[in-house]
């Protein structure tokens, strides 16, 4: 089993509502978000579009990064997204390549 952790940002549209999360299986987690399998913030706001992610080999680093990013102001989050994904494309399909 891999210790790899993904920290990710999902949204409903470009410059829309943002959600930051972490998981050890990003493809699975995105399937869960897209199918509304969990009650909560992401389902309530229709957040199904993966626009940013980072990969950590050390789970503690990933968890710390998620906590830090959740404290960022919105402009920092948007700048991170644009640095990786200028057009806010859904990156989910890239996970299976």
pLDDT tens, N- to C-terminus, the chain (97 residues)? 568 999 999 999 999 999 999 999 999 999 999 999 988 999 999 999 999 999 999 999 999 999 999 999 999 999 999 999 999 999 999 997 6
Residue from 40, 39, 30 nearest 8 by CA: 30
**Which tokens is 21 given?**
């999360």
- The number of beta carbons lying within 10 Å of the beta carbon of residue 34 is 16
The model's pTM: 0.94
pLDDT (0 to 100) of residue 97? 67
Domain that includes residue 79, residue range: 5-96
- The number of beta carbons lying within 10 Å of the beta carbon of residue 8 is 22
Number of domains in the chain: 1
């Amino acid at each position: 089993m891999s210790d790899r952790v993904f920290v990710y940002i999902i949204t409903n549209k470009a410059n829309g509502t943002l959600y930051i999360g972490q998981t050890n299986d990003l493809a699975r987690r995105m399937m869960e978000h897209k199918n509304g399998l969990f009650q909560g913030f992401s389902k309530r706001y229709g957040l199904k579009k993966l626009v940013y992610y980072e990969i950590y080999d050390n789970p503690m680093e990933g968890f710390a990064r998620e906590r830090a990013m959740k404290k960022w102001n919105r402009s920092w989050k948007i700048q991170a997204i644009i640095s990786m994904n200028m057009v806010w494309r859904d990156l989910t399909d890239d996970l299976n390549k």
